[in-house]
Structure 1
């Protein structure tokens, strides 16, 4: 069955890889929701609809969610907790159940050893109003909802042209230090295509064999 997939933050780099994977691997129709639609290129009018909008503007978000069967949120904003609350409310209102949510490594203090110390220092672990603090609050909004959510916590991101990743569940120690944006995009598409194994779960995602005290390029 063809699904209407709403992609919030469609101009993001991970979203770009997910869009390509979804177009290549299935027949879903993609609703590309973004504040700067002029940054989207090579839009296929038969498979994609561009929607100019802001997730912090409830009416704009509500109108987009009303068209969707699935929501994938690829957002980065200091107000991400409010964005999460708006998305959950709109999905509840329109009876949309599946949500794929991109979060951050370290929100549960799940990164062990020297890498965990480095990650917390870089991202403000333990500070409520830090990057990690705000992303944790947003993830808590999602996980306390009744949605069939999947939360993804990527390792530090690279632009490598590869699909190579492994996952850890919530409550397990994070493994490697990096992963490609392309890998995350493909994981997102996989979840959207076959949601049942991933429903109401939360995954850390890294490239195997990249363990260390920090990402290799630092």
Structure 2
């Protein structure tokens, strides 16, 4: 177990974020700041270790205020304005001197998904999703932050922790991964923030190769 850190979770009501929050409370001593647009939607599970902050991730002032005293930012953001959110997060981190960022992206932003699955992934995600997530990733990668970009495969709700990783420049493996697996990877990075610095990491469940995920 690492030393106690303060972790700012952006988009704290997201499914992966909720799983990561639960694991962080169970497995670490870290303090969590839960940042989301509508604070009423989230009650802290442990009021001694959690603070809920209402704010919009496109608002650099709100982000900066939430980042004071933070060691690690974990961004679980989504939406058509994800590039704008990325710019606001980088700007706020630059202004507050916070260096460590864990950013959830998606598979396919580098056209790294091979074969028929890659074609299917394009069909499903082109037209406003891959393009915006790719643009957001470029913002993060152009920053001087100690970022880790996470590119999960298609997400399942399986009660299972089983995953392998690929690095940027390698072909993506598999078609699917459980949200629980992605949350486990995030918790490991938070607990050892020196891992995967300035890396973009694909995350998939082993032996799930195919033309599309099993649930399609």
Which TM-score applies when normalising by structure 1?
0.96
| CA–CA distance in structure 2, aligned partners of residues 35 and 133 of structure 1 | 24
The CA RMSD measured in Å over matched residues stands at 1.0
Please name the residue that 2:132 is paired with: 134
**Who is 2:204 aligned against?**
206
Q: Distance in 2 between matches of 1:9 and 1:87?
A: 12
Aligned partner (choices 138, 150, 167) of residue 165 of structure 2: 167
1:45 matches 2:51: no
Displacement of 1:66: 1.9
| Structure 1, unpaired ranges of 5+ | none
Q: Spell out, residue by residue over 1:156-175, the C-alpha distance to the aligned partner (whole angstroms, 9 max, x if none).
A: 00001111100000000001
Aligned-pair CA distance for 1:197: 2.1
What is the aligned partner in structure 2 of residue 69 from structure 1? 71
CA apart distance, 1:67: 3.1
Alignment of 1:42-191 (within 5 A): 42-124=44-126, 130-191=128-189
Segments of 4+ moved more than 2 angstroms: none
In structure 2, relative to structure 1, the CA distance for the partners of 1:157 and 1:185 (3 Å cut) is: same
Whether contact under 8 Å (1:11, 1:37) holds in the other structure is no
Once the two structures are superposed, residues 44-67 of structure 1 have per-residue CA deviations (whole angstroms, 9 ceiling, x without a partner) of: 111100001111122211111123
Retained in 2: the 8 A contact 1:15–1:74?
yes
Report the counterpart of residue 28 of structure 2 in structure 1. Answer: 26
* Correspondence for 2:4: 2
| Structure 1 residue 111: Cα displacement | 0.2
Aligned length: 214
Distance 1:137 1:163 in 2: 30
- What is the TM-score normalised by the length of structure 2? 0.97
Query: What are the Cα deviations for residues 165-218 of structure 1, in whole angstroms up to 9, with x where unaligned?
Result: 000000000010000001101110100110212111110000001000001111
Deviation at 1:77, TM superposition (A): 1.1
Name the counterpart of 2:15. Answer: 13
